[in-house]
Amino acid sequence: MRNLFLTLAYNGAAYHGWQRQNNAYTVQQAVEEGLSALLGEDVTVNGCSRTDAGVHANMYCLTFQTENAIPPQGLIIGVNDKLPDDIAVRECREVPEGFHARFDCKGKEYLYIVHNSALKNPFYKDTAMRWRHPIDAQLLDREAKAFIGTHDFKGFCCADNDKENTVREIYSFDVRRDGELVRFTVSGSGFLYNMVRIMVGTLLYIGDGKLARGCIPGLIAARDRTLAGKTVEPQGLYLNRVFYEEGKMTLEKQG
């Protein structure tokens, strides 16, 4: 039995998130159907994380097992022919038997894209969140650094979060402007449900004067969701990178 590791990119606008569901079409279902059709066997994949409805991925990772001897490059070409145009396999590797896309993940990086303009742009529909008020990206970049470190982020997740441990480590948080687009890039050991969207919403509220500059350490310490900023819309969010220990994978790129 072979254990294969795939990386995908997808536009999540047409899907009800990553995880397979009984009453909605998801990215996982589309990928499993494409792989099963190509390989001639029932395929179940293990994804690196969940993404919500409307959320995208520049790098989503999964593992699955197969008896098929198809080479990695052949799998990439073959399954891409069977997938919808808004999902693409970018890479395929053969990995050790025990390697798991989720349990061996050491961290993730998320990107949130804001279209900062009073006028809408149809080409950013479903791929960026529009914010009409001016954004001082340099100010928000300085404010975002307060998130870096190991903290209890109970105040930066949805109210019905079911995780007992809400401590996470943030490695970096940068805010950069590129024309009308403002990019919020945050990496960490892991993230709670809606955590990135709430952190971005909090920074935008600081920029608008709805929250005070320098308030983030106090918001973290308070552990109270009602004090932080809004949960921004899903369409601006991208799973951007996933981190693994390359030595543990013992791989060479094969696709």
Q: What number of H helices and E strands is found in the chain?
A: 6, 10
Select which of 52, 136, 141, 174 is catalytic.
Answer: 52
> 52 catalytic, yes or no?
yes
Q: For residue 59, how far is the Cα from the chain centroid? A: 8
The residues with which 242 forms a beta bridge, in sequence order, are 108
CA–CA distance, 141 with 170 (Å, rounded to integer):
14
Which residue, 245, 96, 129, is CA-closest to 197?
A: 129
Identity of residue 149: G
- CB-based contact 62:5 (threshold 8 Å): yes
Residues known to be catalytic: 52
